[in-house]
Amino acid sequence: MAKHTGRLSPRQRMINLMYLVLTAMLALNVSSDVLDGFTQVEDGLSRSNATMSLRNDAILERLRAFAAQNPEKGGVWLGKAEEVKAETDRLLADVDALKLAIVRKCDGEDGDPANILKTYDMESAGAVMLNPVSREGAKLRGKIDKFRDYITGMVADSVKRSGIEMALSTASVRFKGSDIDRKWEEAKFENQPVVAAVALLTKLQGDIRFAEGEALANLLGSVDAGDLRVNRINAFVIPESRLVMRGDKYSADIVLAAVDTTSRPAVFVNGNKLTNGDGKYEFTAGTAGTFDYSGYLEVMHDDGSVSKHPFSSEYTVIEPVATVSATMMNVLYAGIDNPVSISVPGVDRKSISASMTNGTLVRQGDIWVARPSSVGQDAVISISASGTGGTPHQAGSMTFKVRRLPDPTAYIKSGGDAAMRISGQQPVAKAQLVASPGVGAAIDDGILDIEFKVTSFETVFIDQMGNSIPEKSDGDKFSSRQLDKIKRLARGKRFYVSRIRAIGPDGTERSLSPVEVIVK
């Protein structure tokens, strides 16, 4: 045995090198059994992909059938499903083209991916997919990334999205025992037998079909995801108005309403949320008139989304009406403004119009002012009202007798700080009489309060001989002679104001009864 010196002879080094080469060749030599196994895997994957394709087509057909029955509801989801189908087919066609290119690289122009001849070829897959010029592998990785992001955007379930991301992952790979990350295309296709590379691409097509199926199933489920679930169906009659005048049109919507008693919507009216839980809007009406209100309902759907449904309505508040009329006292006075109240139950005052014969009738706020013109001729007030349809309808009429204003009562205007009407029934202090501005006249019977303008009057004093001494006034004022005689009167004496003439607001002149005045 040769002595060991720690150095190998050239012959020994050559033998060792040959062993290394032989070991490498054995490692690269893939047995025919393994290659046949890849062929069987390829066939199985192809059958699985065909089955998955049929399943996806069935989902798409269900969407098409639903959209045909209800285009408004199903049309938008069908459009998205057709788009998913088109994107999937486009990517699958690109993968088929790469499979064909790899097989033709090894078997020639007549190569068929379904019948690979040189299954053991270790160069063709890398030559096609890792070519630094064409960069088909890198391009495929970019297409898969884009498709994955597109499909996951169609799937709402986070668990299903995660499954799609794992199935279509193109992340870099680090093999066991290596410290270097290899790109997805390098890990998949470098030094890979053709049959294995084709099987990998077929599996990729299966993953693409799987992602397509998840997206289509989610779109099919989304057709009804936003629908409301109900457990009670009722019929309702919703009238435009519950108050209808004779001759006006009654209009009502008869609808079928479905509710879910286990999940009430949130109701907001004029910005405030109702807290009673049953959606009933109640309040106490305080002012007569027509008022409107609006709001919205917030409805929670099974898919977690919330939709808002606005509404608006109006209501009419009327005063409690009770009419008591004495038919013998329906009187209007000529020449003056007569306030008249006009109302129609159930109709807003703004929707009421009126007219009058023998005079004028004018609206002033919530009341009307009637001014008859001729005494002795009846005045007829006719009333019309606009109902829900907006068309005026005759609501009634009333006839009034037109009378002249009754004669007023004369009085002496009191002097001093307090303004009083001195009728002469009680003794009057001489100081008040001397300071009096004169004589007035008015109708003041608790119903009417109408002033007349006194134009002239006389005073009659009785002297010691019993003679009557008349004195004329200065219009409605005491003359200086009249005041002088009043100053001379002793307590208990009296004088008379007579021949009083006055003009009323109707323009007629009246002769009034005399007034007896006793000095206190």
Under the banding of pLDDT at 50, 70 and 90, the label for residue 289 is: confident
Under the banding of pLDDT at 50, 70 and 90, the label for residue 381 is: very high
> Is the pLDDT reported for residue 330 higher than 80?
yes
Q: Which residues pair with 385 in a beta bridge?
A: 352, 393
Structure tokens that stand for 167 in this block? 């199935």
**Rounded to whole angstroms, what are the CA distances from 107 to 37, 60, 104, 132?**
20, 38, 5, 22
DSSP three-state, residue 197: helix
Give the lowest-confidence range in 270-274, 327-331, 357-361, 435-439.
327-331
| Top-ranked range on mean pLDDT: pick from 36-45, 424-433, 468-477 | 468-477
Listed as own residue / partner, the contacts of 26-35 with beta carbons closer than 8 Å and 24 or more positions apart are 28/122, 28/191, 30/120, 30/122, 30/193, 32/120, 35/119, 35/120, 35/193, 35/195
The domain 327-403 belongs to what CATH superfamily? Immunoglobulins (2.60.40.10)
> Is the pLDDT reported for residue 274 higher than 70?
yes
Q: What is the pLDDT of residue 28?
A: 46
% of the chain at pLDDT higher than 90: 24
Mean pLDDT of 368-374: 91
Count CA atoms closer than 13 A to 415's CA, side-chain side: 14
- E strand or H helix at 171: none
Q: 245 or 111: which carries more pLDDT confidence?
A: 111
Give the lowest-confidence range in 90-99, 170-179, 276-285, 482-491.
276-285
Q: What is the pLDDT of residue 148?
A: 93
Q: What is the pLDDT of residue 263?
A: 67
Under the banding of pLDDT at 50, 70 and 90, the label for residue 320 is: low
Q: Which residues pair with 368 in a beta bridge?
A: 340, 363
DSSP three-state, residue 413: strand
Sign of CA dihedral 236, 240, 241, 244: negative
| Top-ranked range on mean pLDDT: pick from 111-125, 243-257, 270-284 | 111-125
Give the lowest-confidence range in 14-18, 162-166, 336-340, 513-517.
14-18
Name the nearest CA neighbour of 40 among 227, 196, 259, 187: 196
Give the lowest-confidence range in 101-115, 217-231, 354-368, 496-510.
217-231
> Is the pLDDT reported for residue 241 higher than 70?
no
DSSP three-state, residue 158: helix
| Domain boundaries along the sequence of the chain | 27-225, 232-317, 327-403, 409-518
Under the banding of pLDDT at 50, 70 and 90, the label for residue 382 is: very high
* DSSP conformational letter for 480: H
pTM above 0.75, yes or no: no
Give the lowest-confidence range in 48-57, 238-247, 265-274.
238-247
DSSP 48-101: HHHHHHHHHHHHHHHHHHHHHH-HHHHHHHHHHHHHHHHHHHHHHHHHHHHHHH
pLDDT per residue over 90-116, tens digit each?
Answer: 999 999 999 888 888 888 888 888 888
Q: What is the pLDDT of residue 22?
A: 44
The three-state DSSP-derived secondary structure of 46-60 is: HHHHHHHHHHHHHHH
Supply φ then ψ for residue 173, to 5 degrees. Answer: -120, 135
Amino acid at 120: Y
229, with CB counted inside 10 A (0-12, 13-18, 19+), is exposed
Q: What is the pLDDT of residue 150?
A: 93
- E strand or H helix at 340: strand 338-340
436, with CB counted inside 10 A (0-12, 13-18, 19+), is buried
Q: What is the pLDDT of residue 32?
A: 52
| Top-ranked range on mean pLDDT: pick from 217-231, 311-325, 485-499 | 485-499
Listed as own residue / partner, the contacts of 458-467 with beta carbons closer than 8 Å and 24 or more positions apart are 458/497, 458/498, 458/499, 459/485, 459/486, 459/495, 459/496, 459/497, 459/498, 460/495, 460/496, 460/498, 461/485, 461/489, 461/495, 462/494, 462/495
CB 200 within 8 A of CB 188: yes
pLDDT per residue over 192-218, tens digit each?
Answer: 888 888 888 888 888 999 999 999 988
Q: What is the pLDDT of residue 26?
A: 40
Mean pLDDT of 267-285: 79
| Top-ranked range on mean pLDDT: pick from 10-14, 130-134, 321-325 | 130-134
Name the nearest CA neighbour of 207 among 115, 92, 298, 362: 92
Give the lowest-confidence range in 16-30, 99-113, 301-315, 444-458.
16-30
Q: What is the pLDDT of residue 90?
A: 93
Say how many Å lie between the first and final Cα of the chain, rounded.
175
Q: Residue 164: how many CB atoms within 10 A of its CB? A: 22
% of the chain at pLDDT higher than 70: 79
CB 170 within 8 A of CB 181: no
Sign of CA dihedral 105, 110, 112, 117: negative
CB 418 within 8 A of CB 350: no
CB 204 within 8 A of CB 52: no
Mean pLDDT of 364-371: 89
Under the banding of pLDDT at 50, 70 and 90, the label for residue 19 is: very low
Q: What is the mean pLDDT of the chain?
A: 81
Q: 40 or 27: which carries more pLDDT confidence?
A: 40
Structure tokens that stand for 393 in this block? 């309808």
> Is the pLDDT reported for residue 65 higher than 80?
yes
> Is the pLDDT reported for residue 1 higher than 50?
no
